Structure 1
Amino acid sequence: MLDPTLNQLLSPTPQLALATILTITWLLEFKLYPSEIDTKPTRFKASYRSILLAITTSIIISITLTITQIHNLTGQTLTTTRNLGLLTMTIGLIIRYWSLHTLGKNFNRTVKVERKQRLICNGPYRKIRHPSYLGLILLATSVPIILGQPIGTLITLTLTTTTLKWRMDYEEKTMEQKIGSRYTEWKNKRYRLIPPIY
């Protein structure tokens, strides 16, 4: 028989059903927005793998912490937290898909920069340089929030933002080197991730 706390966490609820649907929708990204297959090893490809590893690892840690009942939230607090997590996941999903749709053919997970590349100025890119990464952070962090795992949330937020910051730093440096002043001007008119904070 399951511990009452664990039973509450794992019992089928409309919240968990919705979380499952949203997660599947998130994973469909790989089918709906496939990337070019590039066999050549690059630092960009390494950063993409690091992002996948960071998100996967943090989610596994969060699930493990939940099952082993280390600082799980319970009762009404869990219900409220799950609603917050579902809202976070929904917003993250909207931002992520909106960004990928806006990028269209310019989207590539391993990132290819060309000197005459068109810079996107519409959709979420009107105000933010990396909206797809903001969506990714919200999506990844929403999982431990839904699980009622404060430690898992902190770990996920730390791992994901650290890895994505490294990716953004390198991506922007490469764009400046390849595109030059045109990119610098575009960059200076936009927040990096969270208007009007950063």
Structure 2
Amino acid sequence: MRFLVKGMILFTVILSLGSAYLLGKSINESMQMAKTSGLFFMLLGLILRYWTYVVTKTYFTRGIHHDEERPLYSHGPFRLHRHPYQTGFFFIVLGVTLFMSGHWLVLIVTFTLLGSALHYRMSLEERILQNRYGEIYEYWCRHRFRIFPFLY
């Protein structure tokens, strides 16, 4: 199961990057604002992922399993996000595709492909945490956004 999820995410990242490359080649006009925004999203994603790692360093894993002793974090990036590590990854890939293509159309592809794969991964992780913490986790989730603050 773990390899299936990682493979799916890798596949969607490759598709997103490939579509960004093809879009950049087919549209000769590069939008400077899209490229600048891409750099911003890359930086934002790197900062968010590093911040999450620093907060969860003792219990950090890249897998979907849950350590019995890991607490539910409510500080740092977890004040607003349930999945700040995946949000940072999403921002990095979004930034790279924007920078590569230089066009806003790549947002649709990245949101659709990578967003779907990460949504599936986060659902699996939330199911494990729900089984572990029960009502405490439900309450915790009601006060945090899955990825984007005030949107989702």
TM-score by length of structure 1 reads 0.68
1:176 paired to 2:130: yes
SS of the equivalent of 1:128 reads coil
- 1:116 to partner: Cα distance: 4.1
Partner of residue 34, structure 1:
none
| Residues 105-144 of structure 1: pairs in structure 2 closer than 5 A | 105-144=58-97
Q: Is the 8 A contact 2:16 2:109 kept in 1?
A: yes
- 1:53 to partner: Cα distance: 2.1
1:55 paired to 2:13: yes
Partner of residue 38, structure 2:
85
Partner of residue 57, structure 2:
104
Question: Percent of aligned pairs with the same residue?
Answer: 27
SS of the equivalent of 1:100 reads helix
1:70 paired to 2:70: no
Cα pair distance change 1:57/1:131, threshold 3 Å: same
Cα pair distance change 1:45/1:181, threshold 3 Å: farther
In 2, Cα distance between equivalents of 1:119 and 1:81: 36
- 1:172 to partner: Cα distance: 0.5
In 2, Cα distance between equivalents of 1:156 and 1:72: 20
In 1, Cα distance between equivalents of 2:138 and 2:3: 23
1:114-169 alpha-carbon deviations (Å, 9 max, x no partner): 44431112210012111111111111111221121444332122111110011111
SS of the equivalent of 1:194 reads coil
Cα pair distance change 1:177/1:190, threshold 3 Å: same
- 1:71 to partner: Cα distance: 2.8
Larger radius of gyration: 1
Consecutive unaligned residues of structure 2, counting only runs of 5 or more, are none
TM-score by length of structure 2 reads 0.86
- 1:57 to partner: Cα distance: 2.6
- 1:95 to partner: Cα distance: 1.1
1:157 paired to 2:115: no
Cα pair distance change 1:72/1:92, threshold 3 Å: farther
Q: Is the 8 A contact 1:113 1:174 kept in 2?
A: yes
Cα pair distance change 1:72/1:162, threshold 3 Å: farther
- 1:176 to partner: Cα distance: 0.6
Cα pair distance change 1:180/1:72, threshold 3 Å: farther
| Aligned pairs, number | 151
Consecutive unaligned residues of structure 1, counting only runs of 5 or more, are 1-42
In 2, Cα distance between equivalents of 1:171 and 1:124: 17
Highest relative contact order (Cα 8 Å, sep 6+), 1 or 2? 2
